[in-house]
């Protein structure tokens, strides 16, 4: 299922690599259960960026799985006027912005998702109250984009060049850990 904007512009990109990614994730034993190392990494990511939510996300053909997840304690998650839900470990592939990062194979910075018609209509805006996003792909030594690391906030955030460099650097750090797990 792909969401369409009023101008009929596809919001979720077609992912030709998904079947190969699913097999690679199976081979690595990733993307099917929570991982304490990835939870710790998500917490580190949230701390560095001062974001209320952070994820280590592996993407299959129809869903996203947050093997690493950090959510701020109650009362610190952002705008109290937003009746927001909490992100869980599993999310539809059509929700959020990480599928764009995986298909593009490039980091994505959205200071305010509402400034971008393509992204403003995403279900996470209404369901979780997401207003800003910062994410980067996890590309392993085989060249496969396995997933992403990302942080989100319920308020607009000026991530800037420093945010971009930070998320790319942390993605490279986690990718190296994943490569070591796979014996390379």
Residues listed for the chain:
184
pLDDT of residue 184: 61
User: Could you give the dihedral angle defined by the CA atoms of residues 117, 166, 174 and 124, in that order, rounded to the nearest 10 degrees?
Assistant: -20
What are 144-156's pLDDT values in tens digits? Answer: 999 999 999 999 9
At 171 the pLDDT is 98
pLDDT band, very low/low/confident/very high, at 68 (cuts 50, 70, 90):
very high
d(CA 41, CA 174): 8
Q: Half-sphere exposure of residue 108, counting CA atoms within 13 Å on the CB side?
A: 25
| CA dist., res. 48 & res. 58, Å (int) | 21
Residue from 48, 113, 122, 46 nearest 91 by CA: 122
**Interval 101-160: pLDDT, tens:** 999 999 999 999 999 888 888 888 888 889 999 999 999 999 999 999 999 999 999 999
3-state SS, residue 5:
coil
Position 79 scores a pLDDT of 43
Q: Which domains does the chain have, with CATH numbers?
A: 18-181 (3.30.450.40)
d(CA 5, CA 102): 21
Q: For residue 86, give Cα distances in angstroms to 28, 57, 117, 128, 135.
A: 28, 16, 24, 6, 18
């Amino acid at each position: 299922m792909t969401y369409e904007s009023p101008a009929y512009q596809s919001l979720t990109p077609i992912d030709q690599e998904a079947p190969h990614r699913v097999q690679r994730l199976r081979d690595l034993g990733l993307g099917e259960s929570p991982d304490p190392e990835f939870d710790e990494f998500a917490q580190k990511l949230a701390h560095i960026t001062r974001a209320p939510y952070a994820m280590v996300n592996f993407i299959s053909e129809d869903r996203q799985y947050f093997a690493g997840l950090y959510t701020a304690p109650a009362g610190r998650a952002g705008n109290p006027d937003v009746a927001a839900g909490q992100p869980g470990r599993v999310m539809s592939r059509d929700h959020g912005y990480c599928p764009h990062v995986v298909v593009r194979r490039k980091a994505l910075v959205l200071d305010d998702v509402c400034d971008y018609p393509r992204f403003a209509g995403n279900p996470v805006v209404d369901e979780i109250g997401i207003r800003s996003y910062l994410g980067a792909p996890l590309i392993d030594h085989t060249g496969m984009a396995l997933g992403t690391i990302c942080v989100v906030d319920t308020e607009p955030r000026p991530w800037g060049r420093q945010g971009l460099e930070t998320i790319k650097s942390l993605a490279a750090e986690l990718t190296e850990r994943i490569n070591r797990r796979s014996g390379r």
